[in-house]
Amino acid sequence: MRGAETRASLPALFDLTGQRALVTGAASGLGLAIAEALLDAGAEVVLSDSNAQALDAEVQRLRQTHAQVQQRVIDVSDGAEVDRHIDAIAAEGPIDCVFANAGMSAGRGFLVEPGRLENVDPAAWERVLQVNLTGVLATLRASARHMKPRQQGRIIVTSSIAGMRSEANSGYAYVASKAAVNNLVRQAAIELAPFNILVNAIAPGPFATGINGGRLRLPESAERMRIYIPLGRIAEPREIQGLALLLASPASSYMTGAIIPIDGGASAR
């Protein structure tokens, strides 16, 4: 009987009905895939992005099958703008889950001439850190301010395996920002644990998205990854959905401060 009761309760562990979530950087790629998974699990989801046109197109598509979808144009590099929008979302109802997913590439790594150390552009460096690191901090800060009084919440950050080790194919600003994000997640997880706010990071490996100009979608990139990735292929955005749903749902009730790779085995080498 106990086994039957356990099996019957399993679907509820991944049910987000009645939950409200925000996903930044949700007009394409991993952010859009995450938003779709949350919607399918029953959550009301606010998609945000700095690209208003792409965001509106995806939201209009999603509204054909999901009534519980909203949108907000947010540039996460502007902390005041992040505060204003998250305050407005919270004024409409509790925020249960936030995915700080918005980010940008720093271009190619040092395997090509433009990506070498002596060619790092200070302005580009500052822009990448402003989006990838300061933008995550702004999202964490604003989200925690509304979650603390309720003594509950989940914040999930999109990091990268490039933040866990050296990564020759990634630009300096990208690897630096993602490494910093990982420790930011750990620090926030410890501070917010007494408030039952769980803070974790997803660290993707190579996914076929539009980042870095969509370079990983090219056949030659796929061929190189067959050697670099133990599973022998580049992932599709939908393959992040299971992990994202786990971290957003009651199933992850004892997880915080984790940096979880999803990389086809690359970080195991």
74 phi, psi to nearest 5 deg = -135, 130
What amino acid occupies position 182?
N
**Rounded Cα gap, residues 4 and 46, in angstroms:** 36
138 phi, psi to nearest 5 deg = -60, -40
- Residue 119 DSSP class: G
Helix boundaries (H) for 14-120: 29-40, 52-62, 79-92
**Rounded Cα gap, residues 227 and 124, in angstroms:** 31
Q: What is the secondary structure of 248-262 as a DSSP string?
A: HSGGGTT--S-EEEE
* Catalytic pick among 172, 174, 228, 254: 174
Angstrom distances, CA of residue 180 to CA of 31, 88, 202, 233:
20, 28, 14, 28
146: enclosing H helix or E strand: helix 135-147
Active-site residue flag, 174? yes
Catalytic residues, which ones?
174
